[in-house]
Amino acid sequence: MLKHLATICLLSLVFFMPQVTLALAPADLSAIGDFRAFTHNIEGSPKKNNLNLKMQELEIAIQGYLNPYAKADVFVSSGGDNFEIEEASATILRGLPVNLNIKVGQYLVDFGKLNQGHPHGWSFVDRPISHRMLLGADGLKDVGIGVSTLLPIGVYSKLSLNVLSGRSLAWEDEERGTEKPMGVGRWSVFLPVGEHGNMDAGISGLYGTYLGKDAAGADGHNLKATMAVVDVKYKYHPSDYTSLVLQGEWLLNHRQLLRDSAVTSVSNGGGFAFVDYGFHKRFNAGMLIDYAPGVFDYQADDLYETGPEEDNNTPLGRFDNQNSTLSLTGFVGFGLVEETTLIRLYGRYMKFNIDDPQLLANPEMTSKKSQFLLGLQVIFTMGPHKPHEF
Amino acid sequence: MSKYLVSIAFVLLLSTVALAKVAIVTSTTDLRSIAEMIGGDLVTVESLNKGASNPHSVETLPSYMFKVSKANLYCKIGLDLDSWAAPIIDGSRNGKLVVVDCSQNVPVLGKPTQKVDASMGDVHPLGNPHYWLDPNNGLIIADNILDGLITVDPANAETYRKNRDAFATKLSEKLTEWKGLAAKLQGTEIVTYHDSWPYFANAFGIKVDGFVEPRPGIEPTPSHTAEIIELVKKRQIKMICIEPYFSDRAPKTIARETGAQVVVLPPSVGGAPGANDYLSLFDTILKTLAGD
Ligand SMILES: [Zn+2]
């Protein structure tokens, strides 16, 4: 009931916003829909070889200046019947000493480059499994304060530090742990390469602890998590009609966890790389290779609703150093008028490497070697044009 | 010895003063050229967009933010053409930056008379922003930049005013020359790719009969191209004018079917060889149209 009320309030806010904002300082309002049609050959799924149709997401974005010094960004999204806050943050843009920016609220943390983006902007359609397995289904999203500055060197170089609630670490556990503040930092450099090329490279680190619960639900185990990511992006963009993007990230993960009521630790890593070639202004095609620790269990994958909904009780890749998943995605896209209407065709092959079935919560997975998925995505965007970011 | 030191200190001081030029960043090369003429030796000017690139869709590169972070003055086109400048200016974190909207006081053409929405394509909602292509607006741009320069560097106001007057004189001389060049173009009917040329057409008595784009910012479609072919035949149009940053595929189809010529016109300084500054831009456009 309360949820429905909140949804109604939110929708009425959205509908009345344009009239209100035209008179006041206008905020940009946009709605982004993500529709999917897909089929797959996942053994055991009642939807195997079906034509599945899904409204994957509806995102509503409200963005605007608060005053000459600050702006705010609010994204709410619905994956089904209820809206939830995707991001809600305010940023002080200017007027602070040493070129500082301060951001507060709930936001996608600048841990690596990709994590700061929203999936509808990605040609390869879904969040890479390396990110989903190591950072979470929606990436690394948390509540906190971030400060960043531009370093006084001869090129654009940004240093950022975030103090976050730590819920993104604590809530991933089988039994929800108790969060403690965690820190995330990134240093990046942006360099022009030749006349039409640019590159961006960064390193990020994360350190946090939380109180984990054991199987009996007893609190009090202080668990440490350390992560790092290296990211590189290169884009060649000689004209509006042609572009080439090469981008990749490698994540390293070191975790403590409770296994049989004892604290133990796991070290592993994963990452992705893709190439995306844009041609004739409106077309693009490319390939993504993605490697993640752990087995990407379809029953935990709400994205493709492959079976009856089950508890998400599969240990994520960050706690698994024996098994792994390799995935290859091919994609072709067409933009009718820029981002307003995008049509993407994609195929994804996943190969599982199972060395230790003991680590799998879903024993069915042991008989699976691979799966294939073929999908069509249509993205529609209403609202002002977004700037073309690097 | 101490005298020697003092003179070294003096030279160092002088050189830092000489180095401390007013740093200007502009959205386009046309604004850069005018800013150079008003600022003279007292300024350094950089344009974010290149002359042969599309000013409607500039990527918000961090390297641009870096440039703006070091600037005193930013000159934008305004009228929503360079709305991409806002995230660049925000990303620069430059709290002392003075931003000049060069469209101020420009008599704007093509202001929509009804509510604009996306079904009409990428209509410029505040009116047509390609106003620098009327040389009479060059002086309005110069005055806007002058105001900005005086705000950031009042000590040199006199010099800037003198430079502005010199620019005005040169511009009016050139205007007479251009009117002469344009005399034989009077009433010439053309088709252009995008609606970039209404100010230019107005200033020089040229008539734009249609566009290769079916609607602003929308890629050519076969049916619209067929309509334009009919129009070109009916009105006996001789030139299909395109900007260097658009594909010549559809224009070439029209040319092939009608015998008209595809003419690449520089819409901005640096958009073609010879168009090296705001004044030679018009020389180049007019000569290209006249077929010289
Ligand atoms: Zn335009």
- What is the C-alpha R_g of chain A? 21
In tens digits, chain B (292 residues) has pLDDT values of 455 655 555 554 544 444 589 999 999 999 999 999 999 999 999 999 999 999 999 999 999 999 999 999 999 999 999 999 999 999 999 999 999 999 999 999 999 888 888 888 888 889 999 999 999 999 999 999 999 999 999 999 999 999 999 999 999 999 999 999 999 999 999 999 999 999 999 999 999 999 999 999 999 999 999 999 999 999 999 999 999 999 999 999 999 999 999 999 999 999 999 999 999 999 999 999 998 7
Kindly determine whether residue A155 and residue B69, on different chains, have CB atoms separated by under 8 Å.
no
Which residue among B87, B118, B247 sits closest to A387, beta carbon to beta carbon?
A: B87
Residues B83, B200, single domain; the answer is: no
Q: What is the pLDDT of residue B9?
A: 55
**Distances B83 to A68, A384, B96 between C-alpha atoms, Å:** 16, 11, 20
Q: What gap in Å lies between CA A127 and CA A272, rounded to an integer?
A: 10
Q: Is B62 on the interface with A (CB under 8 A)?
A: yes
Residues B132, B238, single domain; the answer is: no
Residues B24, B142, single domain; the answer is: yes
User: Which residue in chain A has the smallest CA separation from B68?
Assistant: A156
Q: Are strands A242-259 and A262-279 parallel, antiparallel or unpaired?
A: antiparallel
Smallest CA-to-CA distance from A131 within A41, A204, A221 is with: A204
Q: What are the φ/ψ torsions at residue A152 (nearest 5 degrees)?
A: -80, 60
Kindly determine whether residue B94 and residue A93, on different chains, have CB atoms separated by under 8 Å.
no
Task: Check which CATH number belongs to the domain holding B108 and give it.
Answer: 3.40.50.1980
User: Which residue in chain A has the smallest CA separation from B58?
Assistant: A388
Smallest CA-to-CA distance from A375 within A87, A77, A74, A34 is with: A34
Q: What gap in Å lies between CA A75 and CA B194, rounded to an integer?
A: 34
Cα end-to-end span (Å), chain B: 66
Residues B234, B266, single domain; the answer is: yes
Which residue stretches of chain A are H helix?
2-23, 129-134, 167-170
Q: What residue spans define the domains of chain A?
A: 25-382
Q: What gap in Å lies between CA B205 and CA A164, rounded to an integer?
A: 63
Listed by number, the residues of chain A in 253-292 with a beta carbon closer than 8 Å to a beta carbon of chain B are 281-282
Smallest CA-to-CA distance from B242 within B224, B209, B264, B210 is with: B264
**Spans in chain A with pLDDT lower than 50:** 1-2, 5, 14-24, 307-314
Calculated CA dihedral for residues A41, A335, B79, A13, nearest 10 degrees: -30
Q: Is A117 on the interface with B (CB under 8 A)?
A: no
Classify domain A25-382 by CATH number: 2.40.160.10
Q: Is A150 on the interface with B (CB under 8 A)?
A: yes
Residues B123, B189, single domain; the answer is: no
Full domain range(s) for residue B21: 3-172
User: Which residue in chain A has the smallest CA separation from B221?
Assistant: A336
Residues B250, B217, single domain; the answer is: yes
Residues B70, B142, single domain; the answer is: yes
Q: What gap in Å lies between CA B54 and CA B196, rounded to an integer?
A: 11
- CB neighbours of residue B196 within 10 Å: 23
Q: Is B118 on the interface with A (CB under 8 A)?
A: yes
Kindly determine whether residue B66 and residue A71, on different chains, have CB atoms separated by under 8 Å.
no
Give the number of domains in chain B.
Answer: 2
